[in-house]
């Protein structure tokens, strides 16, 4: 998919926000929602999205919404650091399918990293889906640090 297009109200993150499919929440405020990735790159891999912007990528998002998302990214990354004490935190955002974007609702990945982890991102689906109970336990550890 190119960088141009029309926002799809049926994308997975829009459906999560509408309460039509489940997610494992970490943090929510009036403008943003953070939850655990169901195909995590590492323990505690989280996503942050805008609750009101219909931007598909960083080129389309309203500056106000981008500021709100990034403030939440910082808050969640800090909680992840306190919860799991990773050696590093990978923050990533992809724009367009050739860049690795698979869901066309702007989102930011927060991926805890430890020495010895392979750098970068693997293709979604390669690692499979996380266990729902394990995700809930991880989310509880992160929320306790907020």
Dist CA 11 CA 107 (whole Å): 12
Residue pair 46/133 in contact by the 8 Å Cβ criterion: no
The one catalytic residue in 105, 107, 109, 124 is: 107
Residue pair 25/136 in contact by the 8 Å Cβ criterion: no
Reported as type and span, the H/E element at residue 88 is strand 88-92
The yes-or-no answer on residue 31 being catalytic is: no
Residue pair 12/21 in contact by the 8 Å Cβ criterion: yes
Provide the annotated active-site residues. 107
């Amino acid at each position: 998919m190119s960088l141009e297009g029309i926002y799809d109200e049926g994308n997975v993150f829009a459906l999560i926000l509408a309460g039509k499919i489940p997610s494992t929440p970490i943090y929510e405020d009036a403008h943003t929602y953070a939850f655990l990735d169901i195909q995590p790159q590492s323990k505690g891999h989280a996503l942050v999205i805008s609750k009101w912007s219909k931007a598909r990528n960083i080129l389309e998002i309203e500056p106000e919404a981008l500021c709100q998302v990034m403030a939440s990214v910082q808050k969640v990354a800090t909680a992840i650091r306190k919860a799991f004490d990773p050696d590093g935190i990978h923050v990533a955002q992809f724009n367009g399918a050739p860049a690795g974007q698979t869901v066309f609702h702007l989102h930011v990945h927060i991926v805890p990293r430890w020495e010895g982890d392979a750098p970068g991102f693997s293709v979604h689906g390669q690692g499979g889906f996380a266990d729902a109970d394990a995700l809930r336990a991880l989310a509880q550890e992160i929320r306790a640090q907020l």
